[in-house]
Amino acid sequence: MNLGLNDKVILVSGGAKGIGAGICKILAAEGAIPVIIGRNEADNISMLNELGGRCFYVTAELTDPAACNRAVELVVAKFNRIDGLVNNAGVNDGVGLEKGDYEAFMASLHKNLVHYYLLAHHALPYLVKSKGSIVNIGSKVAETGQGNTSAYAAANGGRNALTREWSVELLKYGIRVNAVIVAESYTPLYEKWINALPNPEEKLRSITEKIPLEKRMTTAEEIANMVAFLLSERSSHTTGQLIHVDGGYTHLDRAL
């Protein structure tokens, strides 16, 4: 797309698999340097090799606040700059109201929300220098509900709120903050969930039939294309937006 991202250093949490991997692939194709921040070193190395070395990685457990800080420090030590941040890592871990508890709820918030804040907080001085952009990946669960996933829904509501809050706070620096909201995308985690159900093929078919546009799931590449656009100067007057890349699932009548 020639988005002007050549040599831009962009952090991507959870960048080794699923949607994060799709984002890293598109960024590398655009000439950027995606920096994977994730817990599994083998997965990080695998993505590094797949991209032909056109990326960097930091192995970090993002539920550890100190690790978030160290990850940013390592990137700055390597490149002396940060041009963008994609907060993506998380998991729909099924911590509900009836069957959950305090410890599980708080642990889920650390998996799905707290590190969004911490990575942005530690990267901010460098984003100010580069006038970079932030993109938060969110889920339609914050708007539609799902059942038995209170913590994940709360975390995604928080992601949406932080997107709007940061876009206001960072106006003075010219830093744009947007969110890409995902509904149904067939990632490895999604596949694991489907296969754990009694009738996975039937369940998958019932889900895709409710997606208005083309009755199919959104691909990681389609999500990544929007992320790359929002990181680039091609979206120079777009901030504080929650952009749904979901085939119309969240807002269109699913009976269509």
Residue 100 lies in a domain: yes
Query: Tell me: the pLDDT tens digits for 173-206?
Result: 999 999 999 999 988 888 888 898 899 899 999 9
Residue 147 lies in a domain: yes
User: Mean pLDDT for the chain?
Assistant: 96
Residues 213 and 230 in one domain: no
Whole-number percent of the chain with pLDDT over 70: 100
pLDDT of residue 126: 98
Residues 56 and 103 in one domain: yes
- The Cα–Cα gap between 223 and 65 comes to 28
Residues 170 and 210 in one domain: no
pLDDT of residue 55: 94
pLDDT of residue 178: 99
- The Cα–Cα gap between 105 and 130 comes to 36
pLDDT of residue 223: 98
Residue 254 lies in a domain: no
Annotation marks residue 102 as catalytic: no
> Is 80 exceeded by the pLDDT of residue 104?
yes
Residues 93 and 120 in one domain: yes
Residue 251 lies in a domain: no
Query: Tell me: the pLDDT tens digits for 44-62?
Result: 999 999 998 889 999 999 9
Residues 105 and 211 in one domain: no
Residue 2 lies in a domain: no
Query: Tell me: the pLDDT tens digits for 106-116?
Result: 999 999 999 99
pLDDT of residue 228: 98
Residue 249 lies in a domain: no
Residue 7's pLDDT band, with cuts at 50, 70 and 90, is very high
Residues 131 and 229 in one domain: yes
Q: Please name the residue ranges forming H helices in the chain.
A: 18-29, 41-50, 65-79, 102-109, 115-130, 141-144, 150-169, 188-195, 200-208, 220-231
Work out the angle between the directed axes of helices 102-109 and 150-169 (0-180°, nearest 10).
40
Residues 61 and 173 in one domain: yes
- Considering its fold, how many domains does the chain have in total? 2
Average pLDDT of the residues in 127-150: 97
Q: What is the dihedral sign for C-alpha 228, 173, 71, 184?
A: negative
- Which is nearest to 35 in space by CA: 18, 48, 50? 48
Query: Tell me: the pLDDT tens digits for 9-43?
Result: 999 999 999 999 999 999 999 999 999 999 999 99
* Candidates 102, 152, 186, 249; catalytic one: 152
pLDDT of residue 239: 98
Residue 56 lies in a domain: yes
Residues 207 and 129 in one domain: no
Residues 108 and 209 in one domain: no
Three-state SS for 11? strand
Residues 127 and 209 in one domain: no
Residues 203 and 116 in one domain: no
Average pLDDT of the residues in 61-71: 98
Residues 207 and 124 in one domain: no
Range of the domain at 47: 9-183+221-244
pLDDT of residue 196: 87
Q: 135 near 159, Cβ under 8 Å?
A: no
Q: Tell me if the pTM is above 0.85.
A: yes
pLDDT of residue 205: 94
Residue 253 lies in a domain: no
Average pLDDT of the residues in 139-166: 97
Three-state SS for 202? helix
> Is 90 exceeded by the pLDDT of residue 227?
yes
Residue 6's pLDDT band, with cuts at 50, 70 and 90, is very high
* CATH code (residue 76): 3.40.50.720
Q: 82 near 133, Cβ under 8 Å?
A: no
